[in-house]
């Protein structure tokens, strides 16, 4: 079973770059932002046994419960879930999720992704399964692989560039998710393909709306690597015979691939900076772009937070 947490953008961009020449790395990727001692002292909350669901085919399937808000409350456990590709969920997994009472699923994947890997959620008649039809343009990242002087630092910056447009390109998805939450149609799960980029930003916006501090949000984003402990480069090599995109990535030096697959807090910080440049604050973006009124936010907090 393929368990790579590849961001779907990589699969799209590689199809545009398969015929490019070899690349030669010449520099190291800059260090990711340091998570402070405040986070380290509360490790038990972040690496709680309930954080990652024990599913046979779950991809990066995580619970957002337990995180402390600025007013001293905590996000309710077993109510909000983020994940990657749901097509690998097994019948046992679906039974487990059914017992958890998941009511709403927001699938942030493109139409093509969903057609190639249909969601198993649709097998549960009790679930309200939401999607939207759209396609992704590999754009800047695709052009990156045509650079004969490509370096890890350039890959990292190209990924950051992708995150500058991510909030605005996917605002419709996040707006729909907040609508379900305001109506308390929970437990709610949301996913993309890797469970890292589109779902990662969705989790960040949701936690922001609930009053979770920025540093905690960055830490949750980083957990794709910290908790799952996947060796992406090794798995790419193992899967290269079954997918041309994987085969292309497997030919690249590992140091070029790792920034593409990383859950580097710098990427999420870049998205926040882009939001703040356009809207002033992330809160204003949530209100102005995602139509989450103060009354909706208070209702969500009442339903999703506990003392």
Domain extent for 181? 8-15+43-306
Task: Establish if 31 belongs to a structural domain.
Answer: no
Residue 71: is the preceding peptide bond cis (ω within 30°)?
A: no
In a domain, 22, yes or no: no
Task: Answer whether residue 33 is part of any domain.
Answer: no
Backbone phi, psi, residue 181, to 5°: -65, -40
CA dist., res. 238 & res. 226, Å (int): 22
pLDDT of residue 238: 77
Secondary structure letter of residue 280 according to DSSP: S
Residue 280 lies in a domain: yes
Helices (H), the chain: 8-15, 37-40, 43-46, 91-99, 111-116, 139-144, 152-169, 171-182, 198-209, 214-228, 232-239, 244-251, 254-261, 265-279, 282-288, 294-304
Q: Based on the structure, what is the number of domains in the chain?
A: 1
Asked if residue 130 is part of any domain, the answer here is: yes
- Is 25 domain-assigned? no
What CATH code is carried by the domain that includes residue 85?
3.90.190.10
* 37 in a structural domain: no
Task: Flag whether 75 is in a domain.
Answer: yes
Residue owning tokens 């890997």: 117
| Res 40: pLDDT | 59
The tens-digit pLDDT sequence of the chain (307 residues) is: 343 444 444 544 444 444 333 333 333 433 444 456 666 566 777 779 999 999 999 989 999 999 999 999 999 999 999 999 999 999 999 999 999 999 999 999 999 999 999 999 999 999 999 999 999 876 556 677 778 899 999 999 989 999 999 999 999 999 999 999 999 999 999 999 989 999 999 999 999 999 999 999 999 999 988 766 556 667 777 777 766 667 777 778 889 888 988 999 999 999 999 999 999 999 999 999 999 999 999 999 999 999 9
């Amino acid at each position: 079973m393929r368990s790579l947490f590849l961001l779907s953008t990589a699969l799209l961009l590689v199809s545009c770059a398969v015929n490019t020449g070899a690349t030669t790395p010449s520099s190291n990727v800059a260090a990711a932002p340091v998570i402070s001692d405040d986070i380290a002292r509360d490790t038990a909350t972040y690496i709680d046994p309930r954080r990652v669901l024990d599913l046979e085919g779950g991809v990066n399937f995580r619970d957002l419960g337990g995180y402390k808000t600025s007013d001293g409350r905590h996000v309710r456990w077993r109510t909000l879930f983020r994940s990657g590709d749901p097509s690998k969920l097994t019948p046992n997994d679906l039974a487990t999720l059914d017992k958890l009472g998941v009511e709403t699923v927001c699938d942030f994947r493109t139409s093509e992704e969903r057609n190639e890997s249909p969601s198993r959620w649709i097998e549960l008649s009790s679930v309200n399964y939401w999607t939207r039809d759209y396609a992704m343009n590999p754009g800047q990242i695709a052009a990156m692989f045509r650079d004969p002087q490509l370096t890890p630092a350039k890959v990292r910056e190209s990924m950051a560039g992708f995150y500058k447009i991510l909030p605005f390109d996917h605002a419709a998805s996040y707006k729909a998710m907040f609508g379900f939450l305001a109506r308390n149609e929970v437990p709610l799960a949301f996913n993309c393909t890797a469970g890292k980029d589109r779902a990662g930003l969705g989790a960040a916006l949701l936690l922001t709306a609930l009053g979770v501090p920025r540093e905690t949000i960055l830490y949750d984003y980083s957990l794709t690597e910290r908790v799952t402990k996947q060796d992406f480069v090794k798995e790419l090599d193992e899967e290269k015979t079954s997918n041309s995109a994987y085969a292309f990535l497997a030919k690249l030096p590992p140091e070029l691939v790792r920034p593409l697959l990383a859950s580097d807090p710098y990427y999420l910080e870049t998205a926040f900076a882009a939001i703040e440049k356009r809207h002033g604050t992330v809160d204003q973006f949530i209100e102005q772009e995602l139509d989450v009124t103060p009354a909706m936010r208070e209702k969500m907090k009442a339903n999703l937070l506990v003392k």
